[in-house]
């Protein structure tokens, strides 16, 4: 999908194509609803309130998919593996993370193409966070 901006033809970003901030707000909020009650994942979030983690993740995904760069402006380079290094992320945590994310993605009811693109990234990201055998 294309649109005209300031006299030039530009492709819309994935972020724009799927509905912008509201879509990512829904995705991340639904994901954290699952995390809140997960005995394996919840301890990886030391803050009592998951709201700040939810905001960081939402801003990261928005930036990654072509939206505003608020995440980097506030937090610098994402350095995801380094930020997750203090936590033992094993295959069970990977699987739990993807289970909650699958529910959140499905509830968005994206087009098949957008759903596949988003899901492929999330599977890759989850695998890249694993840092512990077991």
d(C-alpha 36, C-alpha 43), whole Å: 9
Q: Which residue has the higher pLDDT, 110 or 71?
A: 110
Work out the pLDDT band at 84, boundaries 50, 70, 90: low
The pLDDT tens digits of the residues spanning 55-66 come to 999 999 999 999
Q: Compute the half-sphere exposure of residue 115: CA atoms within 13 Å on the CB side of its CA.
A: 12
> Would you give the distance in Å from CA 30 to the centre of its chain?
11
The pLDDT tens digits of the residues spanning 33-54 come to 999 999 999 998 888 889 999 9
pLDDT for residue 73: 75
Q: Is 45 exposed, middle or buried (0-12, 13-18, 19+ CB in 10 A)?
A: middle
Q: Which residue matches tokens 């512990």?
A: 132
Reported as type and span, the H/E element at residue 94 is helix 91-108
Asked whether the predicted pLDDT for residue 81 surpasses 90, the reply is no
- The full set of domains in the chain, from first to last, is 17-129 (1.10.490.10)
Asked whether the predicted pLDDT for residue 5 surpasses 60, the reply is no
pLDDT for residue 58: 97
pLDDT for residue 74: 74
């Amino acid at each position: 999908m294309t649109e005209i901006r300031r006299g030039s033809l530009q492709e819309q970003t994935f972020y724009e194509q799927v509905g912008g901030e509201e879509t990512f707000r829904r995705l991340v909020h639904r994901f954290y609803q699952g995390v809140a009650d997960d005995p394996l994942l919840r301890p990886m979030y030391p803050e009592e309130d998951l709201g700040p983690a939810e905001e960081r993740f939402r801003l990261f995904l928005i930036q990654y998919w072509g939206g505003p760069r608020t995440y980097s402006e506030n937090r610098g380079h994402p350095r995801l593996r380094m930020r997750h290094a203090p936590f033992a992320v094993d295959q069970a945590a990977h699987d739990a993370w993807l289970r909650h994310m699958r529910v959140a993605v499905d509830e968005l009811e994206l087009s098949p193409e957008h759903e596949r693109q988003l899901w492929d990234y999330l599977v890759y990201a989850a695998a890249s966070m694993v840092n512990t055998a077991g």
